[in-house]
Amino acid sequence: MPSNRILLDTGVLLIFVVGFVIPELIRHHKKLKAFDAADFSLLEEIVSDAAVVATTPQCWAEVSKQLEYGVPASWRSGLRQAMKSRIEQAKEHPIASRTCVNDPVYFALGLTDAGLLKCLDASTTLLTIDSMLFEYALSYGGNAENFHHRREARGLT
């Protein structure tokens, strides 16, 4: 990655939180069927290379909403604790919703992704599983990496 700060989107964050509990849980989570423990290991490698791991409150809100989707009740406490731990470790960039909705990209990508694009600068690389967000980040001149490309390079797809 060309920068020392990594900005994680909602999909990557969800893998990051669920895998933190037990990586094998990833493949059992209804929102993460395409991923598994090997993807979490790859993500951990990528994140460990960054000096700063960052995201936005909007991403955390989406992760919170998706975290327990379709999982057994016995997992919920552990998932909440893992999210708490990850929030405490990450740098959070507060982006006012008003700022996001007044950017034209809001109409194409929505509130959360518009906020992520507002966080990009020369020292930040966006890591995403969303190909549309990835393309917009590149078109805005930002540093971005599609996690699926890393997975392909590692032979995980």
As given in the structure block, the two tokens for residue 45 are 């490698």
Mean pLDDT of the 63-80 span = 90
Mean pLDDT of the 22-32 span = 90
Predicted confidence (pLDDT) at residue 74 exceeds the cutoff of 50: yes
Distance between start and end Cα atoms, the chain: 21
Predicted confidence (pLDDT) at residue 1 exceeds the cutoff of 80: no
Mean pLDDT of the 100-110 span = 96
Measured CA to CA, the distance from residue 121 to residue 135 in angstroms comes to 16
For position 3, what pLDDT does the model report? 53
As given in the structure block, the two tokens for residue 106 are 């809001």
pLDDT tens-digit series, residues 7-23: 999 999 999 999 999 89
Which pTM was predicted?
A: 0.93
For position 157, what pLDDT does the model report? 82
Measured CA to CA, the distance from residue 116 to residue 120 in angstroms comes to 7
